[in-house]
Amino acid sequence: MDPLTVLLVVALSALSTILYIFIGILPGTDETATMAPVALTLLLAGVDPLLVLVWFTASIAAFKMADSIPVALAGIPGGVMAVPQVPDALTAKEHGLADTILRKGIASSVVGQFVALAVCLSLSYYLMPAGEWLRTADEVLGVKVARWFWLILAGLLVLALMSRSRVAALATIPSFALLVQGLRGVYGRPVFISLFLGITIGPMLFELLSMLHRDLRQAYARRGAKEVRLLRVGRISLNPLRILDREELAHSALWSAATSVLAAVMSPVGLTILIGDLIRGSVRDRVRGAVLAYTVRDAIKNATYIGGILIPLLVIGVPTGPMAAGPAAPFFHKLESLGATPRDYIVSRYDYPTIAVALLAATAIAFLVAYPILVRYSRRLTVAVFRRVPAEALYGLFIAIVIMLSYYDAKVAGIFGTLVVSLVSGALWRLGVSLGVLFMALVAAPTLVALLTALPL
């Protein structure tokens, strides 16, 4: 790595960390909606994909550390991944342990991300030769099908079965694939960005359009301002080793290692709920169980995001899980300016040690910046963000970026295509279909539709 690249790694990691601390604290900031468009914009702007990956890794560290802060202080999740921590936080807060879970969450995030990086980088190094085998195509019903497709299909089925509405989720897979391929046929080229962004903003746009309907609007109506009750916290030590006890450290490290690998094909939210609930249920003391579950869930959030991108990126080469097909999707789709996918560019242009060092450096810088800020100023930051950033301005920004990128993808038709996809996605999400199913169906769509139309039925 030349000195300029080193400087850029440091600068981008620090910048990404500061930006995502604020985004993480803000309520209602969905990970895919906030991480993917920024990464995509940087890639399209011509930033080296490895540097964008560095940015992305630092953003995971900061976002997943910061999104549980409003949970601990106010019971409000800063992002989708922090939602499973709300019941633990409420139990802990009832017993005056808000500052305890706040500091334990921050410390276990550090543990989760470093353990996941160590496990995934080591495992990927040994599994890399399997990537070639997975990318080999076999002929099925006269259609060339890459072997990784079966991995995606298996992940899709698991995710659909884990959705709140299993039947709807299973029925959605071929239907949504047909919608996507139909739009691509109309556009005349295999667009990805506008379709992906359509899914991303689907829930928000569906709710928003529901509010424009006179009869439905009343269900969303609220009078006055939203009251946010913030608890006071005591002074917290800067030494993370004094924050976690042995049991918390062991659970955080063990489950981070296991879930980082599972996230290559499984849902990070699903794993955070599953493991956290198992731990909470296994401890007899209700308060102790809540604190332990909250702490481990924070580690799992970072670990699943790291594993969810690294294993598909370094080994498989295609987005096989909801994390890779969602927030990390921009790395897996061909960019005209590069003539390849950012993923292929990274693994062909940089050797393994360079990638590993860059990602470890991004994580170390992110935590060096975020940890002291969050430990010392988390409450003041939360108050400032809650008091000064209007939700309307933030949502307006997201919508504007989606409109611009949809136009970039397929001109005016792209904007309306995004609208169709987002309305369908939002409606399906309301019916209990996980957005991960839609993201993965988008990736699997070309092969899935080719196989559907080739069926001798």
Partner 1 sequence: MDEDVHYELYGEYVSLRELGVSTLICTAFAMLFYFAAPAVAEALDLQVTGISITLGAAGAALGFAVSMLVTKVKRVVVEV
Nearer to partner 1, 223 or 235 (CB): 223
- Footprint (CB under 8 A) of partner 1, residues 66-85: 76-77
DSSP at 263: T
DSSP SS3 for 137: strand
Residue closer to partner 1 by CB (options 4, 393) is: 393
Which residue is associated with the tokens 């989760």? 112
Stretch that binds partner 1, among 57-65, 204-212, 240-248, 441-449 (CB under 8 A): 204-212
Give the 3-state secondary structure of residue 145: strand
Give phi and psi for 425, each to the nearest 5: -60, -45
Choices 175-183, 223-231, 279-287, 320-328; region in contact with partner 1 by CB under 8 A: 223-231
Per-residue CA distances from 312 to 199, 236, 305, 309 (Å): 21, 38, 12, 6
Give me the least distance between CB of 383 and partner 1, in Å please. 6
Query: Segment contacting partner 1 (CB under 8 A): 6-14, 213-221, 420-428, 447-455?
Result: 213-221
Cα of first residue to Cα of last residue in the chain, in angstroms, is: 56
Amino acid found at 451? L
Minimum CB separation from partner 1 for residue 334, in Å? 14
Distance CA 391, CA 301 (A): 24
Is 191 a residue that touches partner 1 (CB under 8 A)?
Answer: no
CB of residue 350 to partner 1, shortest distance in Å: 20
In terms of CB distance, is 211 or 423 closer to partner 1? 211
Contact call for residue 394 and partner 1 (CB under 8 A):
yes
Q: Which one, 42 or 374, has the nearer CB to partner 1?
A: 42
Distance CA 101, CA 380 (A): 17
Token digits of residue 327: 């927030």
Residues 199 and 31: their CA atoms lie apart, in Å, by 13
* Count of residues in contact with partner 1, rule CB under 8 A: 52
The Cα–Cα gap between 359 and 148 comes to: 25
The residue from 208, 364, 431, 452 that contacts partner 1 (CB under 8 A) is 208
What is the CA 268 to chain-centroid distance, rounded?
A: 8
- Three-state SS letters, 34-57: HHHHHHHHHHHCCCCHHHHHHHHH
Nearer to partner 1, 30 or 88 (CB): 30
- Choice from 390, 412, 455, 456 touching partner 1 (CB under 8 A): 390
In the complex with partner 1, the residue whose CB is nearer, 284 or 388, is 388
Per CB under 8 A, 41 contacts partner 1: yes
Cβ neighbours for 408, distance < 8 A, ≥ 6 positions apart: 44, 193, 414
Selected binder of partner 1 within 2, 139, 227, 351 (CB under 8 A): 227
How many Å separate Cα 425 from the centre of its chain?
17
Which member of 161, 167, 220, 411 binds partner 1 (CB under 8 A)?
Answer: 220
- As beta bridge partners, residue 405 has none
Q: Does 338 bind partner 1 (CB under 8 A)?
A: no
3 state SS of 143:
strand
If the CB atoms of residues 76 and 191 are measured against partner 1, the closer one turns out to be: 76
| 27 is a contact residue toward partner 1 (CB under 8 A) | yes
Considering the rule CB under 8 A, would residue 431 count as an interface residue with partner 1? no
Query: At its nearest, how many Å lie between partner 1 and the CB of residue 354?
Result: 23
User: Which residue, 150 or 407, is less far from partner 1 as judged by CB?
Assistant: 407
R_g of the chain computed on alpha carbons: 21
As measured in angstroms, the least distance from the Cβ of 339 to partner 1 is 13
Residue 409 is encoded by which pair of tokens? 């993808």
Contact stretch for partner 1 (CB under 8 A) within 61-69, 104-112, 170-178, 209-217: 209-217
- The number of angstroms, rounded, from the C-alpha of 74 to the middle of its chain's C-alpha atoms is 23
List residues near partner 1 by CB under 8 A.
27-28, 30, 41, 44-46, 76-77, 203-204, 207-208, 211-212, 217, 220-232, 336-337, 383, 386-397, 399-401, 403-405, 407-408
